[in-house]
């Protein structure tokens, strides 16, 4: 059986109101801050207005064309690898919250609707997987909007969550590996991994630091090359499990709590690609003990530090609730560790893993 495409398909005979409905849905969901992509099937072919345009001549000569104008980019491609409906939906889905398709009666979609142009009209033979048939007199936009909202929420809930602990820092100011430092008889990295494990499917260690014996069973992902700092570890995690959302924490956040993780996870919703908390009264975001959804990866691939995501579409920076701030405490020096965590900065196992 063919798998369902992660999109919403709206189809019907000519004059049934497909385009009108798609336009209204685009307006409603973009007003919520969601990014929407549309793919249209045109049985008459793709024709540019004014066939004597330079771009049309380029295309007719055999070239794929891209036209860049004020506030818009138009791309026109010839058939070829990567340009099937399945591949085009996947490409749009990776950078949009919602993909709407007009037409494509034989394809299987997550949500598929038939619009009647007359009472008792039925879909043609060969159509399958229709969720609902809508009459002209119904409030189509509201009915479909509610169904899409339900589907989008279910998609977010179905995304698995993994946890990553960064252990690759140089720890120069601390003078010793942070992830091996001890608090209450337990290593910092071990404390962070243990708390993460209570709310995620899998925990991985990110970086090339020495592996504590207590964490030797966890996957270890080396930093990606040509990247610096936490970004190198975050991208390693997201390339390893690209279908997962990632809760990323630093090894020097040993006061991390399940309550803080629950707060972060409770903020997940359609349209949110990353959650970078900020402290009360501060405009500075916290890229660690933060959550990155799968769609955040293409943003992270383009920046030099994860904090640069702040202000981008799909990235939210909620204020950390009172009582949870300690989960974001970290330390770079022995003095900070003693003041914040009440630790002398001893090394786990006397310096051996």
Domain annotation covers residue 53? no
| 199 shares its domain with 332 | yes
| 231 shares its domain with 153 | no
pLDDT at 230 over 60: yes
Question: How many C-beta atoms surround the C-beta of residue 21 within 10 A?
Answer: 22
Question: What's the number of domains the chain is made of?
Answer: 2
Domain annotation covers residue 334? yes
Query: What's the whole-number average pLDDT of the chain?
Result: 88
pLDDT on residue 178 = 85
- Lowest mean pLDDT of 146-155, 207-216, 251-260, name the range: 207-216
Domain annotation covers residue 111? yes
| 209 shares its domain with 145 | no
Domain annotation covers residue 57? no
| 108 shares its domain with 193 | no
| 216 shares its domain with 347 | yes
Query: Among the three residues 142, 158, 174, which one is the final residue of a domain in this structure?
Result: 158
| 245 shares its domain with 180 | yes
pLDDT on residue 57 = 79
| 9 shares its domain with 119 | yes
Domain annotation covers residue 150? yes
State the average pLDDT over residues 6-33. 93
Query: Among the three residues 158, 192, 210, which one is the final residue of a domain in this structure?
Result: 158
pLDDT on residue 44 = 54
Domain annotation covers residue 337? yes
| 170 shares its domain with 294 | yes
- Cross-strand partners of 109: 5
pLDDT per position as a tens digit, 20-65 = 999 999 999 999 999 999 998 865 556 554 455 777 878 888 788 8
pLDDT per position as a tens digit, 324-336 = 999 999 988 888 8
| 302 shares its domain with 321 | yes
| 147 shares its domain with 271 | no
Q: Which domain holds residue 303?
A: 161-351
User: Using CA atoms, how far apart are residues 140 and 64, in angstroms rounded to an integer?
Assistant: 37
| 129 shares its domain with 196 | no
Query: Among the three residues 158, 180, 214, which one is the final residue of a domain in this structure?
Result: 158
Question: How many C-beta atoms surround the C-beta of residue 142 within 10 A?
Answer: 11
One-letter-per-residue 3-state SS of 139-199: CHHHHHHHHHHHHHHHHHHHCCEEEEEECCCCCCCCCCCHHHEEECCEEHHHHHHHHHHCC
Asked if residues 238 and 309 have their Cβ atoms less than 8 Å apart, the reply is no
CATH number at residue 233: 3.90.550.10
Question: What confidence tier does 139 reach under pLDDT thresholds 50, 70, 90?
Answer: very high
| 128 shares its domain with 178 | no
Domain annotation covers residue 66? no
CATH number at residue 33: 3.40.50.300
For 250-285, the DSSP string reads ETT-TT--HHHHHHHHHT--TT--EE--B-TT---B
Domain annotation covers residue 281? yes
Q: How far is CA 70 from the centre of its chain?
A: 28
């Amino acid at each position: 059986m063919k798998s369902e495409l992660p999109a919403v398909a709206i189809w019907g005979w000519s004059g049934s109101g497909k385009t009108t409905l798609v336009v209204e849905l685009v307006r409603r969901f973009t007003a919520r801050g969601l990014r929407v992509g549309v793919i249209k099937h045109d049985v008459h072919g793709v024709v540019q207005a004014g066939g004597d345009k330079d771009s049309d001549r380029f295309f007719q000569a055999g070239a794929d064309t891209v036209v860049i104008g004020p506030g818009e980019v138009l791309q026109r491609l010839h058939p070829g690898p990567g340009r099937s409906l399945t591949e085009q939906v996947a490409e749009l889905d990776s950078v949009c919250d919602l993909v709407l398709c007009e037409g494509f009666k034989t394809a299987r979609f997550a949500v598929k609707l038939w619009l009647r142009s007359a009472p008792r009209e039925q879909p043609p033979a060969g159509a399958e997987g229709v969720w609902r048939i809508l009459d002209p007199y119904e409030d189509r936009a509201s009915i479909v909007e509610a169904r899409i909202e339900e589907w989008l929420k279910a998609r977010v809930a179905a995304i698995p969550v993994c946890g990553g602990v960064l252990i690759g820092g140089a720890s120069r100011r601390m003078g010793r590996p942070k992830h091996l430092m001890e608090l209450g008889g337990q290593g910092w990295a071990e404390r962070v991994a243990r708390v993460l494990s209570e709310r995620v499917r899998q925990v991985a260690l990110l970086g090339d630091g020495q592996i504590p014996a207590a964490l030797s069973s966890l996957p270890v992902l080396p930093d990606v090359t040509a990247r610096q700092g936490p970004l190198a570890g975050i991208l390693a995690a997201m390339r390893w499990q690209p279908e997962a959302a990632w809760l990323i924490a630093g090894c020097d956040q040993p006061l991390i709590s399940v309550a803080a993780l629950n707060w972060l996870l409770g903020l997940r919703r359609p349209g949110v690609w990353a959650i970078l908390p900020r402290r009360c009264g501060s405009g500075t975001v916290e890229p660690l003990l933060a959550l990155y959804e799968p769609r955040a990866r293409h943003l992270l691939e383009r920046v030099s530090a994860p904090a640069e995501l702040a202000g981008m579409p799909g990235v939210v920076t909620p204020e950390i609730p009172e009582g949870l701030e300690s989960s974001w405490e970290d330390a770079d020096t022995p003095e900070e560790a003693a003041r914040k965590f009440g630790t002398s900065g001893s090394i786990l196992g006397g310096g051996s893993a």
